[in-house]
Amino acid sequence: MDLNRESLGLGKSPALLLVDMIEGFTNPDCPLGCACPEVVAANKMLLETFRRQQRPVFFTSVVYHNESQARVFRDRVPALNVLTADSRWVKVDQRLSPEPGEPVIEKHWASAFRATDIDSMLRAKGVDSLVVTGLTTSGCVRATVVDGLQYDYRVVVPREAVGDRDSDAHEANLFDMHAKYADVWNLADVLTALERVS
């Protein structure tokens, strides 16, 4: 039985949050990565729209500077150990390169909110809602979406702009996020909504 839930959509001041669209996740040569050109293309469309509308854009990357950071997470998923500060894998995919003024927030755990200052950065820009994209749907995207709600942001997830190495996990997590934590919309509907609030 479906839960009753309200579609909240975007507020008056949305920001785009690209979660871990980094070489380590978009390049299948990395043990953490997968080929996802369609996800990259959807993110490019969103970036173009947010930039044209002069709305805030934030990126995240997973970066480890020493062995003590996120020790249990890295013990659980040893492939994360390739994400060192001097590695190519922690750099934003060059097809989505940040422009000046678009922060790349380093994180150690799944959520963009865990032990970062992103909430204060969003509040400083008057952001009231988030379009969350990136990789992976079942991991860092989901964790960020749940925390976005818990920090009192409306959250919208464009289904074409997120991806996962496991298609079943991808679909199950989109279903669950839409049921409880966010509006999961088609990319075209997100772009239309952005034009309406511009």
Residues designated catalytic? 140
Q: Which residues are bridge partners to 64 per DSSP?
A: 84
Q: Helices (DSSP H) in 99-153: which residue ranges?
A: 118-124, 142-150
Give the count of alpha carbons within 13 A of 176, CB side only: 14
Burial of 152 (0-12, 13-18, 19+ CB in 10 A): exposed
Q: Find out whether 128 and 15 touch, Cβ atoms under 8 Å.
A: no
